[in-house]
Amino acid sequence: MSRTVAPLTAAPRIQPSALVAVLKPVTWFAPVWAFACGGISALESLGPDTDHLIVLRDVLLGLVLAGPMLCGASQAVNDWFDRHVDAINEPDRPIPSGRLPGRSGLTIAILWTAASLLLASFLGPIVFTAAAVGCAFSWAYSAPPLRLKKNGWYGNASVAISYEGLAWVTGAALVAQGMPSLQSLFLALLYSLGAHGIMTLNDFKSIQGDLRFGIRTLPARYGVKAASWIACVVMAGAQIAVMACLVAWGHTVAALLVSALLFGQVGLMKRFLADPQAEAIRYNATGTGLYVLGMMVAAVALGVS
């Protein structure tokens, strides 16, 4: 028998451990890594007149913005609006379990979003715009009336763009102290497209609750087998496009390294496709690791050229 969501009643004091849990530090890696890739891709823009101390200061603030602030805020927003689904899929989470009682989960989501935008405002118009778009996506993904997560195509795209593309652009903009190069922007776009497949991997663990509440993730919409193929094709297709770009831009060695990393993923994909629900977590920890290593290879190719 499923557990019910804790009633929205008066709040005792928030436990620090519950606050940390709702911000989910483990999820910060993806945007922080993409931020680092973007920054490295823009190293070629640094010149003799660059004030490296200012760049270093902005990059450190940007790392805080990408991970603990923006990603943390998005996790809090999602946990609040997903509390009924989580009561079935993951009842031990802070909100459905009652460790974040009353409306404290919503309060944290609002305050963390506002603080993220405040920090972004000190880092220039490009960073603020990227942060504002990311915040808009995080609320549209989880909150009614849009609740983009109810559609596996739109919802996963909004998360992939925020975690990979916008984080990459933010890092590149802070290092370049202005608009990133078109090549860097194009790589950010391609890796965002590929990350759509990574987002689908996270949906295999919650099919039961998603179906009950009408959340049409790709596994819920098309079934486990078809969704696993879609995830793999999307991830591989984006990396093939990256390799083509690197060759066209004269970075042949980098293209070969990305192809080697993709070859390693294909072997892991075979195991994942054989039993998607059992292997999704394992593939997320292994195949996704090779994917993000390819991101860094491509970024280094641009940054040191």
Q: Note the pLDDT tens digit of each residue in 212-261.
A: 888 899 999 999 999 999 999 999 999 999 999 999 999 999 999 999 99
| Structural domain contains residue 8 | no
| Structural domain contains residue 2 | no
State how many domains the chain has.
1
Q: What is the DSSP letter of 124?
A: -
Helix (H) or strand (E) holding 278: helix 276-303
Q: Note the pLDDT tens digit of each residue in 91-141.
A: 899 999 989 998 999 999 999 999 999 999 999 999 999 999 999 999 999
Residue 215 belongs to domain spanning: 16-303
| Structural domain contains residue 299 | yes
| Structural domain contains residue 50 | yes
| Structural domain contains residue 118 | yes
CA–centroid distance for 115 within its chain:
19
| Structural domain contains residue 123 | yes
| Structural domain contains residue 7 | no
Q: Note the pLDDT tens digit of each residue in 141-173.
A: 999 999 999 999 999 999 999 999 999 999 999
| Structural domain contains residue 9 | no
Rounded Cα distance, 2 and 204, in Å: 19
Count of beta carbons in the 10 Å neighbourhood of residue 181: 15
Structure tokens at 275: 């039993």
In angstroms, what CA-CA distances link 122 with 71, 136, 165? 18, 19, 21
Q: Which residue has the tokens 């990396």?
A: 239
